[in-house]
Amino acid sequence: MLLHSARHAWAGKPVRNAACALLTALLTFPALADHRLPGGHVGSIDDHGKNAFSLPAPGLNDEQKTTFVIGNSFFKKAWVAAPASTTARDGLGPHFIARSCGACHLLDGRGAPPPAPQGISTEQPMALLIRLSIPGRAADGGPLPEPSYGGQFNNDAIPGVKPEGKVLIHYDELPGQYADGEAYSLRKPRYTLTDLGYGDLHPKVQLSPRVAPHMVGLGLLEAIPEATVLAHAERQKREGKGIAGQPNRVWDAYANRHILGRFGWKANVGSIAHQTGGAFHGDIGITSRHFPEQDCMPSQQDCLAAIEGGKPEIDDRRLSQVIFYSQTLAVPTRREPDHPEVKRGEVLFHAGQCASCHVPSHVTGPHPDIPQYAAQTIWPYTDLLLHDMGEGLADHRPDFEASGRQWRTPPLWGLGLIKTVNGHTTLLHDGRARDFAEAILWHDGEAAFSQTYFRTLSKTDRAALIRFLESL
């Protein structure tokens, strides 16, 4: 479908002069906003194929598009152990879970847990990581690292260094019934860490499995004003319907203070810059200005002794290109937004109270690095707040201000395309839900009303609600 909007004014041309800026401002006035463009006029792309998550926001100017392309090449780049003749990309590990960003965020899409044909995983996870901690708080207020293994379990290592161990996942099936009698089954994972390389785990170790989320529209989420997020928390309290969203407050290495958390399954990261540097550090073992020390615990002598790939292993310039790339991936346009079944599903979405947390839209404020992202009406379907989702989903591992039962409302934009991009339909923080229905059925705690509502819908209405979710 061709979109005949004034967006074409930006195709390949810089947004330079005042008249153009004024036109931009007028066209993005909320009254003219279009729910078909979840990323706003500047950040939506009408590609619904395998590359749906991988294209730059069309509103970028030429110079930004170049930065995007270069950032993309470093995002995909496989890192190698130091020393290597390819000095630009050595420094992998010593401990790591993947060799490149793209290995887990394949095609900038959603990761999945490893296959488990008889309810037991048959491979090591790569796009699912395990966070570790013990009770207490680190100096910055965040989780206290496990004393031998640190803050993340790394199941791979460079030659000469022991991997931290292996991950085994068991699934238990939990049968249930819709009100109309139709049966369903949910699967609940249990994690075991085996082949431990550095001795026993702490008796009170806390584990949290986290799958790689898809990466569209992240810069737009950064541009949602903090006041907007806090106002939704206030609204939920006022409405007194049992929903009580809370903001997370997290340490940010770039801001050098605590800021509102927006990213990560527990809103445990405040900025894309911190997320990118932190992921390079924790997942691939690449040091940078704000993450300068290798991620080795004091007892991991082989890790500490390993050769580094430079100090730091990725410089500011390269890292900033990857950060920009991560911020400017476009959001795919809505699929069949006017189909009657989709519209019926939308009515049910609101009736079921889903929109209280999965807030459909926001107007962005200024973004410090991407001027075009200001004053965009976007449709991410999230309030970015933490909610108690009940015992079934709890990981019992606090993360800054998030409790062991709270999770951030994830954005729903683009979820319907995960099947096309990544070839699976698993959802939720650990990929336990095999489809949208299972994801809804896991909703509990503050969301209990919505779960009950869904379970009591007719089969036709359940299908309509899911078709609406697939269209986002």
Partner 1 sequence: MTALQRAFRCGIALTFALALSPTTHADTSPRAVLEHYASLVEANYDDTLAGIRELQDAVRSFVAAPSEAGLQKARAAWLEGREWYGQTEAFRFYGGPIDGEDGPEGLINAWPLDEAYIDYVEGDANAGIINNRKEDISPDRLNELNERGGEENVATGWHAIEFLLWGQDRSETGPGNRPYTDYLDGKAANADRRRLYLITVTDMLAAELEGVAKAWRNGADNYRASFVASGTEGIQRMLTGLGTLSRGELAGERMEVAMDTQDQEDEHSCFSDNTHRDIVANAKGIQNVWEGRYRTRAGRIIEGPSLKDLVAAQDASVARTVSQDIANSVALAERIQAPFDREIIGDDNSPGRKRVQAVIDALKKQTDALVEAARALGITRLNTSV
Question: Under the rule (CB under 8 A), what is the footprint of partner 1?
Answer: 2-4, 7-8, 11-13, 45-47, 49-51, 55-56, 58, 62, 65-66, 68-70, 72-73, 76-78, 80, 83-86, 88-89, 98-100, 102-103, 106, 126, 420
Q: How far is the CB of 116 from partner 1 (least distance, A)?
A: 18
Toward partner 1, which CB reaches closer, 167 or 428? 167
Q: How far is the CB of 318 from partner 1 (least distance, A)?
A: 8
Toward partner 1, which CB reaches closer, 60 or 253? 60
DSSP E strands in 32-108: the ranges are 44-45, 95-96
CA distance 368 to 222: 10
Toward partner 1, which CB reaches closer, 8 or 237? 8
Toward partner 1, which CB reaches closer, 95 or 455? 95
Nearest to 97 by CA among 149, 170, 138: 149
Q: How far is the CB of 312 from partner 1 (least distance, A)?
A: 17
Toward partner 1, which CB reaches closer, 66 or 185? 66
Cα–Cα separations (whole angstroms), residue 314 to 56, 79, 98, 305, 307: 23, 11, 16, 20, 15
Toward partner 1, which CB reaches closer, 28 or 268? 28
Cis peptide before 203 (omega within 30 of 0): no
Q: How far is the CB of 6 from partner 1 (least distance, A)?
A: 10
Neighbour count for residue 200 (Cβ, 10 Å): 8
DSSP state, residue 44: E
Toward partner 1, which CB reaches closer, 214 or 387? 214
Q: Which helix (H) or strand (E) holds 206?
A: strand 206-211
Q: Coil, strand or helix: which one is 336?
A: coil
Q: Coil, strand or helix: which one is 186?
A: strand
Q: How far is the CB of 76 from partner 1 (least distance, A)?
A: 5
The β-bridge relationship of strands 44-45 and 331-332 is parallel
Q: How far is the CB of 326 from partner 1 (least distance, A)?
A: 16
Neighbour count for residue 421 (Cβ, 10 Å): 22
Q: How far is the CB of 54 from partner 1 (least distance, A)?
A: 8
CB 61 within 8 A of CB 14: yes
Q: How far is the CB of 112 from partner 1 (least distance, A)?
A: 13
CA distance 100 to 334: 30
CA distance 285 to 424: 28
Q: How far is the CB of 98 from partner 1 (least distance, A)?
A: 7
CB 86 within 8 A of CB 79: no
Contacts of 407 (CB under 8 A, 6+ apart): 265, 266, 386, 387, 389, 393, 429
Toward partner 1, which CB reaches closer, 112 or 354? 112
CA distance 70 to 88: 14
Toward partner 1, which CB reaches closer, 52 or 229? 52
Toward partner 1, which CB reaches closer, 65 or 170? 65
Cα–Cα separations (whole angstroms), residue 389 to 39, 55, 179, 239, 450: 27, 33, 22, 18, 11
Nearest to 58 by CA among 80, 81, 36, 41: 41
Q: How far is the CB of 60 from partner 1 (least distance, A)?
A: 9
